[in-house]
Amino acid sequence: MTASVSIWGVGTSRFARQPDTPPTHLAWQAVTEALDDAGVAPAAIEAVYAGTVFGDPGVTTRTLQHLGITGVPIVTVENACASGTTAFHEAQAAVGQGRYETVLAFGIETMTAVFDGPIEPLASDPEGAQGFAMPSLYGMAAQRYLHCHGVAPEQMALVAVKNRRNALNNPRAQHSGEFTVEQILASRPISDPLTLLQCCDISDAAAAAVLGPDRGAHTPAGTPDVAVRSTALASGQAWDHTTDLVWGWQLVADTATAAFESAGIGPGDIDVLEVHDAFTIGEIVTTEALGLCELGGGGALVESGHTSLGGTQPVNPSGGLLARGHPLGATGLGQIAEIVWQLRGDATGRQVDGARLGVVETMGGGTAGIDGNACVVAVLEAPGGRR
């Protein structure tokens, strides 16, 4: 028997290339905001679950000690791009099982300390040994979609147009702007058919959420709790390259099915989503795998305006990874924060009217032979429940 779990508060730093900002400052910005939002003191935190990929050994303990969060269990996980949402998944499980009452989920990444450009592939993987970085893998997925499903380059470019426009109203986002499809397609080629403006950037940031049991209508800070309806975590199956589905599609679909069944919802019930759009084709594939449309229909879905602000099911109102930035360990909790703000009606300038059910999906990958390292799907519910 598990107890109901709620998100008491969230916070993030700015997302940007900020090599002169130490990790301690990023952590202070995110965690202090989350604690204030929750109305709890650092001493109230009973356990920490953190996600980071390229952080120094002990980065969680090193950064949180400056906030007075010491002497408690701290668990740091690395799960590729899904590290932050994996930490969130484990934090909510710990609360739901009654192990702790007040838990901090935390993600941090200072990628500019490690990379000047794209993440370098591991030479120990067969794909890495051939130089297949993530843009190459997503570029091949895009080529297959163009061939098999008729998804047009212009439809992929529309994802970048939409998300960069959304980020105009997100002061924490790394990139934003009004672009045309033609400008997106004319930007520098990266991995055919993907161009520069269709690829996310490395970033430095921290993000945090405070979780605990449902506190009812009266909370210390006066901000309402957001319910965690369900979370699901899975790793990919062995990849035999015989499937007709592109890399990662089945992992996202399976994880979403588990989360939706646990929450008792279907894809049509969702009001707003934050999904893993490290590349434009990624959002198209993910919306299909989540069940928002049929296989091969993701391009037409974005073209129809269905996933735009003002559409039926807005996707990535924050700007997504493409515009907000992609600091791997902090990305998932940045997505969680956005959906919490949306469900509380606090996403000024990019608010999805009447949002009651929100979904976060984060998929991390890159290991040769596996259909994705990990995927987390979380279903969150607004204060007061569904319509």
Positions annotated as catalytic residues are 81, 326
Report how far residue 89's alpha carbon sits from residue 351's, in angstroms, rounded to the nearest whole number.
Answer: 25
Closest by Cα among 301, 296, 311, 315 to 360: 315
**Residue 163: both structure tokens together:** 């998300």
How far are the Cα atoms of 155, 167, 173, 242 from residue 322, in angstroms, in the given order? 15, 9, 10, 30
DSSP 224: P
Q: Are the C-beta atoms of 357 and 266 separated by less than 8 Å?
A: no
Using the CB atoms, write b or e for 199-227: b if 16+ within 10 Å.
bbbbbbbbbbbbbbbeeeeebeeebbbbb
**Residue 34: both structure tokens together:** 């989350």
Q: Are the C-beta atoms of 321 and 278 separated by less than 8 Å?
A: yes
Helix, strand, or coil (residue 79): strand
DSSP 169: G
Alpha-carbon torsion, ordered 376, 382, 383, 387, to 10 deg: -140
Q: DSSP readout, 229-264?
A: EEEEEE-PPB--S-SSSPTTHHHHHHHHHHHHHHHT
Specify the amino acid at residue 36: D
Query: Phi first, then psi: what are they for 368, rounded to 5°?
Result: -60, 140
End-to-end CA distance of the chain: 27
Helix axes 249-263, 280-289, angle to 10 degrees: 50
